[in-house]
Structure formats: structure tokens, C-alpha cells
């Protein structure tokens, strides 16, 4: 039996794409083994969102070449196909479309072919009809409902490597989610490059949530952009009984002038209004975010605006990224550049604020009840099971793995809360 292994970098969209490709190999009789084991084919699903992501992807490709013939897939392959093919040990590249052909590419390699470029222009392609049938051994499973992006934020390379926004049919999502739920998953995460842009005729993202709410599983939204969402969206999803009250809203900056240079289509005031709307319609929702520091031209005053905004928004968690210039984007040529040391200093200040805000949010949840999906043994509270609550809080309690339970939240240690089963 031929063997194949996988390594996935980057976002949940890549994780879903890898799961799909794994199922294609399994259906063709391949055995999927752990990365690092000797095998016939190694698939590295890459990310290119930052310079660091490129560096990590190249390092994994070099490691993969020691264990088998290498196919490089994903965003870095789409962006730099010929450069990736020129790397030692790489036999083929396949980009961010036509993943259904990967087994054919693998068989061509095993027949002696090499230097296969299976990427193509994705400017006008439709939604690739990918479905996964099981959640594997995981209690949480991801469904990609949307691909690509039309926003063209000035710093972002993703529209150029993922193409324009396109969506999976709602009936296909329902079929896929039903199969995953029947396979034992307790939570389904809806993901995509820009899921707020989901559109299937008259159906939008809220309709996806409403449709899947009929399944007896938790529903969690991936990152959403409030630029195309509003009060009607919040009103619709607020009636969903199984929707997790955790909303990841990518802020990127709390300064209006920086947001304009970023080509973000909202104001800080509009963002705060949306946060307020969520808090009015959900009980203590966890609002998490992404913020970039050191964007070209960012002044001390603009950074101070971001710090002040983040504090006032009282985010439950902040993911901080020093600006990474990506060739091919408008921000790549913007000036003045912010020195790396200043961008990192600002990032560290924002991370410190984020730590305080996260601690405040966890303390605000003490004595509250939350639903927890237990997934593994706790490393913090020995002898207990641990998992994420509906609000994406790490919780440990005396529970069984792969079950959802209502828990009263108590002590906090290392960002993990100890709970008591109800």
C-alpha cells in the first residue's frame, strides 16, 4: 500500500483543504501516515500571508524532502509556483484550486514524472466543490463555506492567491454538516477566507447558521468582517440555540486614518457599534480580534488610538501581528516604513494590553455557566479533562473526553479555568 503524509501551515481554510485531500488519497487506497515517517508522497499545504509564513513553509518543505516525494500545495505554491518547483526535493506544485487532481499528480510522480506545475490562473474560477465526509478522530470539525475575497485590503496578498469571493451551495453545506454530525463531531466551525461575504442566491451567512442550528452540534463562526454585516444579521443569528457566542472580528487598527490606508471599509465607530450590538444580543460574548502594528506611516498618535480603542472594546483576546510587507500589494510600496524595532515594540505593548484584557474577561466569567466540549487530558489541572467552552475559554473539569457538558467556571490558572459539572 502506498503511503502519504501531510503537513498543514496557516489558517483553518488550509486545514479543511488538507482534510479534503487526505480523503481523496484514502479513497484511492493510500495509507495516511504521520508527517516525518518514510512514505511515498508528502503533501505540504503552505501559507504565504506573511514573510514568516513563507519562511516556515520553506523550512517544512526541506524537512518533507527527507521522507518522500514532495507536492507543495496552497497559497505559497500559488504565488511562487516556479520558485517552489526549483527547491530541492520538490516534485510538483498545486495551488489553491483543482485540489481534486492531487492524487493524479501524485501517481504521475510515482510513475517517474517530475517538475509538475498543476497551478493555474484563479482569477475567474468558481467554488471548488470540496466536501469532507467525516470529522476523523476530532470532536470539532471545519466546513469551508466560502473561498476568496473581494476586499483588497492594501496589505493583504490573499485575494491574489485565493481569487475572488465565491460560495458553496447552502444545500451542499447542510449535507456535509449532517454527515459530519452523524460521524460524531460535537462542533462545526464555519470557515472561509471572508465568510461574511457568503452568498448563495438570496441566502447569506445568517441563513447558513439558521439551517445548521437544526443539527445537534455547536456551531462556531470563523473570522467575520463587519463591513458587510449589520443589525439584521445579528438579529437572525441571535435566535440560534447552538451558535457559540464567540465572535472574531478583525479590527487591524483602531485609528481611522490607518484603516483608510489599509483600505478597510469601516470606521472605528462602526466597529464599536457592532461590538455593542453583539453584547446587547448575546450573554457575555467573547469578542476576539486581530491587530497589525507598524503599518506604513503609523504615527505614535495613531498607535495610541489603537491602544485606547482596544482597551475600550474590552476584547477577550487579541492576536497581534507586526506589519509584514507582501510584494504585489499596495502597502508594499507605501512610505514611510516603520522600523522593525518600533513595530515590534508596539506589538509587545499591545500584547501586554491583550493579556490584561484576557485576564479581565476570564475573571468576569467566574461563577458563570458555560458549555464545554472536552477534547483531551488537561495539562494545567492534572487528572481532569480539558476543552474549549462555547466562548472559546480553555476549561478543565471532571468529565469524559468527547462530550459536551454545562460547567460552572471557577479558578483560573495559565489562562485555563477549572469548572464543576452541573
Q: What is the secondary structure of 68-126 as a DSSP string?
A: SEEEEEEHHHHHSHHHHHTSTTEEEEE-SS-GGGHHHHHHHHHTT---EE-----TT--
Helix (H), strand (E) at residue 45: strand 41-46
What does the radius of gyration of the chain's CA atoms come to, in whole angstroms? 22
pLDDT of residue 239: 96
Residues in the chain: 422
Give the C-alpha separation, 197 to 411, whole Å.
Answer: 39
SS3 annotation, 233-291: HHHHHCCCCCECCEEEECCECCCHHHHHHHCCCCCHHHHHHHHHHHHHHCCCCEEEEEE
Residue (of 401, 359, 364) closest to 383 by Cα position: 401
Give the C-alpha separation, 276 to 262, whole Å.
Answer: 24
* 28: exposed, middle or buried (Cβ count in 10 Å: 0-12, 13-18, 19+): middle
At 129, list the grid cell. 466543490
pLDDT of residue 168: 96
Backbone angles phi, psi at 90, to 5 degrees: -85, 125
Q: Cβ distance 36 to 67 under 8 Å?
A: yes
At 280, list the grid cell. 446587547
Residuewise pLDDT in 10s, the chain (422 residues): 999 999 999 999 999 999 999 999 999 999 999 999 999 999 999 999 998 999 999 999 999 999 999 999 999 999 999 999 999 999 999 999 999 999 999 999 999 999 999 999 887 788 888 888 765 556 889 999 999 999 999 999 999 999 999 999 999 999 999 999 998 899 999 999 999 999 999 999 999 999 999 998 999 999 998 766 889 999 999 999 999 999 999 999 999 999 999 999 999 999 999 999 999 999 999 999 999 999 999 999 999 999 999 999 999 999 999 999 999 999 999 999 999 999 999 999 999 999 999 999 999 999 999 999 999 999 999 999 999 999 999 999 999 998 999 999 999 999 999 999 99
pLDDT of residue 139: 82
Pairing of strands 3-8, 246-248: unpaired
Residue (of 312, 296, 299, 394) closest to 353 by Cα position: 312
Residue (of 302, 317, 243) closest to 278 by Cα position: 243
Q: Say what the pTM is.
A: 0.93
Residue (of 138, 46, 128) closest to 93 by Cα position: 46
Using CA atoms, how far residue 81 sits from 77, 86, 91, 199, in Å, is: 5, 9, 11, 30
pLDDT of residue 131: 82
Residues 6+ apart with CB under 8 A from 125: 97, 163, 166
- The full set of domains in the chain, from first to last, is 3-117 (3.40.50.12160), 137-244 (3.30.750.210), 269-364 (3.30.750.200), 369-421 (2.40.50)
Amino acid at each position: 500500500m502506498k503511503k502519504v503524509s501531510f503537513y498543514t501551515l496557516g489558517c483553518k481554510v488550509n486545514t479543511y483543504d488538507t482534510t479534503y485531500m487526505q480523503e481523496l488519497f484514502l479513497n484511492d487506497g493510500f495509507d495516511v501516515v504521520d508527517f516525518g515517517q518514510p512514505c511515498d508522497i508528502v503533501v505540504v499545504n503552505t501559507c504565504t500571508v506573511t514573510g514568516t509564513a513563507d519562511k516556515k513553509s520553506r523550512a517544512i518543505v526541506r524537512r518533507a524532502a527527507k521522507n518522500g516525494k514532495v507536492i507543495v500545495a496552497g497559497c505559497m505554491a500559488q504565488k511562487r509556483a516556479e520558485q517552489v518547483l526549483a527547491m530541492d526535493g520538490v516534485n510538483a506544485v498545486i495551488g489553491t484550486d483543482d485540489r481534486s487532481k492531487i492524487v493524479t499528480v501524485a501517481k504521475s510522480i510515482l510513475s517517474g514524472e517530475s517538475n509538475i506545475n498543476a497551478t493555474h490562473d484563479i482569477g475567474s474560477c468558481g467554488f471548488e466543490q470540496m466536501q469532507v465526509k467525516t470529522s476523523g478522530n476530532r470532536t470539532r470539525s471545519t466546513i469551508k463555506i466560502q473561498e476568496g475575497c473581494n476586499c483588497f485590503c492594501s496589505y493583504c496578498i490573499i485575494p491574489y492567491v485565493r481569487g475572488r469571493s465565491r460560495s458553496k451551495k447552502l444545500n451542499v453545506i447542510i449535507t456535509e454538516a449532517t454527515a459530519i454530525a452523524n460521524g460524531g463531531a460535537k462542533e462545526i466551525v464555519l470557515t472561509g477566507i471572508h465568510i461574511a461575504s457568503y452568498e448563495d442566491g438570496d441566502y447569506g451567512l445568517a441563513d447558513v447558521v439558521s439551517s445548521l442550528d437544526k443539527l445537534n452540534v455547536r456551531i462556531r463562526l470563523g473570522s467575520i468582517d463587519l463591513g458587510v454585516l449589520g443589525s439584521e444579521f445579528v438579529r437572525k443569528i441571535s435566535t440560534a440555540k447552538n451558535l457559540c457566542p464567540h465572535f472574531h472580528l478583525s479590527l487591524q487598527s483602531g485609528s481611522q486614518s490607518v484603516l483608510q490606508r489599509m483600505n478597510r471599509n469601516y470606521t472605528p465607530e462602526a466597529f464599536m457599534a457592532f461590538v455593542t450590538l453583539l453584547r446587547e444580543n448575546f450573554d457575555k460574548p467573547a469578542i476576539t480580534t486581530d491587530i497589525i502594528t507598524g503599518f506604513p506611516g503609523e504615527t505614535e498618535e495613531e498607535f495610541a488610538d489603537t491602544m485606547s480603542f482596544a482597551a475600550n472594546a474590552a476584547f477577550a483576546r487579541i492576536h497581534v501581528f507586526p506589519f509584514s510587507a507582501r510584494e504585489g500589494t499596495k502597502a508594499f510600496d507605501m512610505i514611510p516604513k516603520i522600523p522593525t524595532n518600533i513595530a515590534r515594540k508596539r506589538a509587545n505593548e499591545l500584547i501586554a494590553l491583550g493579556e490584561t484584557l484576557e485576564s479581565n474577561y476570564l475573571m468576569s466569567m467566574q461563577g458563570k455557566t458555560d458549555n464545554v466540549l472536552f477534547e483531551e487530558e488537561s495539562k494545567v489541572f492534572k487528572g481532569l479533562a480539558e476543552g474549549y467552552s462555547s466562548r472559546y475559554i480553555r476549561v478543565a473539569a471532571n468529565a469524559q473526553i468527547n462530550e459536551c457538558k454545562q460547567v460552572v467556571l471557577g479558578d483560573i490558572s495559565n489562562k485555563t479555568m477549572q469548572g464543576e459539572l452541573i
